[in-house]
Structure 1
């Protein structure tokens, strides 16, 4: 009996040491200084393409733009997108551009804590310094809103952010946005948007038990969206079978109106209303071109 107690004590000490190690284990990397001058208009456009307004505005509750989003109800808990206004207490008003770059590209807060992957930072990892500077310039124009976003409602052990370090080590990958030789400029631009800023795969890809996207099933659709929603397959063959063409898909991304005359609802309706409706015709055509002929 004494031997068993000693073994249990050893395991407890080892386990405790592992947990403490994870808690102090730094993640991410310190971003290099960004000294580029940002363009507000380019930044606002990229923010729309990236879904910032749609996610960080509680439209259903009459919230102020970017002051904090509607709840994301998932099987891991309820998560609330934070306040992105220039309020120095409840928003990002006291951040530096380097803090912003680290958050957007790495999913790490200014105090070094990892963000929950409900934030779609994995899709933004390839943003250039110029794109970060543009976004930052745009966000600096947002009036402060001194209202905190609600606290996340995540049960133990999901609530323990140090566990996200293991999740990141196991599942975090960079988006595949680089141009592909032999493809048209429109196709490559569509690939950059679809796999990057527009983060279509966040909703249209199934996930494993840990909530990570299944890389072997990219764009295969998902039946487990926040709030119990679903997202159809974006595989080219499936899109064509549903009657989608480059022209009507680009039109739907602009207006929310599908080929059969029905309108997008739920989260896709919000994506259009807060994001893709503001993109240029060229970019919408590029996205449609890529989706109907993706890898």
Structure 2
């Protein structure tokens, strides 16, 4: 009996230590004060360009929205994945249903660290693993622009996620593996144009979130960066956009620029689905940014189709 009692006490002690370790390792990691100080007052005109580059309307406007309705960020887009169904929230300026009460610091912690104002982890369906590469000043500008957008009443609804994925605290471990501000690919002395393209593609544009294969834990396999992927929603595949076999090897930079502006491919086909929304965003950017994206895509390592 004494041995059993000792074993029970040891088991409880191990459980307490393990629980404490899990709690510490999964604690949400907010931006430090020195980083937040660089946010500045924000410039709404520059923030509009960040808004389109970051694709905010593609997920957070109502499904099927066009024209000015793309600026009514009521949410509601549903993403059915192997981990559950994620629902894009209302991020309009509505105080109760949206993010109208958020400060620039709140937005920065959400986008760069995946942490809510209440201190909870966001699910990485929100592409903060890419936004983590953004400049803090761009987040400040985006916040200034978003404050000019309408407040739209209405909740988009809750995510539909089962155990164990509904335990948000565990995302802290996932972040330790996959959340980093480091570049996705190392480029040797890139030109200013290629460097700008890298920033747009790897950061706000979050192209890798769809075009890069993932492992069993949902993390991006950056060794096959932009080599194509299975759709996270289980229907079809996403294109390889490197110059490798099955990718954009036969495309010129001009071909890529035309696609990003008009949606037309070199053989006069046109993109559809989610990519059509991306094109609408890219068309709002300066021509120099589309050219920078094209230059970057032709500069990165070529990979054969991952799928």
Task: Answer whether TM exceeds 0.5 for this pair.
Answer: yes
Q: TM-score, normalised by structure 1?
A: 0.89
Shift in CA distance, 177/5, structure 1 to aligned 2, threshold 3 Å: same
Distance 1:285 1:75 in 2: 35
- Match for residue 247 of structure 1? 254
- Match for residue 297 of structure 2? 291
Shift in CA distance, 217/102, structure 1 to aligned 2, threshold 3 Å: same
Q: CA deviation at 1:16?
A: 6.3
Secondary structure of the structure 2 residue equivalent to 1:162: helix
Distance 1:149 1:2 in 2: 57
Greater shift after overlay, 140-149 or 64-73? Answer: 64-73
Distance 2:255 2:199 in 1: 20
| Matched residue count | 293
Shift in CA distance, 130/178, structure 1 to aligned 2, threshold 3 Å: farther
Can you give the 5+ residue segments of structure 1 that lack an aligned partner in the other structure? none
Distance 1:143 1:293 in 2: 40
Distance 1:221 1:158 in 2: 25
Secondary structure of the structure 1 residue equivalent to 2:244: helix
Q: CA deviation at 1:171?
A: 2.3
Shift in CA distance, 108/283, structure 1 to aligned 2, threshold 3 Å: same
Q: CA deviation at 1:31?
A: 3.9
Q: CA deviation at 1:44?
A: 1.1
Aligned mate of 1:124, from 115, 131, 146: 131
Shift in CA distance, 146/244, structure 1 to aligned 2, threshold 3 Å: same
Greater shift after overlay, 11-20 or 31-40? Answer: 11-20
- Match for residue 40 of structure 1? 44
Shift in CA distance, 16/287, structure 1 to aligned 2, threshold 3 Å: same
Aligned residues of 1:66 and 1:85 also touching (Cα < 8 A): yes
Secondary structure of the structure 1 residue equivalent to 2:111: helix
Aligned mate of 1:103, from 104, 110, 113: 110
Runs of 4+ in 1 over 4 A off after TM superposition: 1-13, 61-64, 177-181
Aligned mate of 1:80, from 80, 87, 90: 87
CA RMSD between the two structures: 2.7
Shift in CA distance, 181/86, structure 1 to aligned 2, threshold 3 Å: same
1:240-278, CA deviations, whole angstroms, 9 ceiling, x for partnerless residues? 44x3110011100111111111111111112112x1121
- Match for residue 194 of structure 1? 201
- Match for residue 30 of structure 2? 29
Shift in CA distance, 7/213, structure 1 to aligned 2, threshold 3 Å: farther
Shift in CA distance, 135/61, structure 1 to aligned 2, threshold 3 Å: closer
1:4-43, CA deviations, whole angstroms, 9 ceiling, x for partnerless residues? 8985785576446634654575321344244622111110
Can you give the 5+ residue segments of structure 2 that lack an aligned partner in the other structure? 302-307
Q: Give yes or no for the alignment of 1:137 onto 2:144.
A: yes
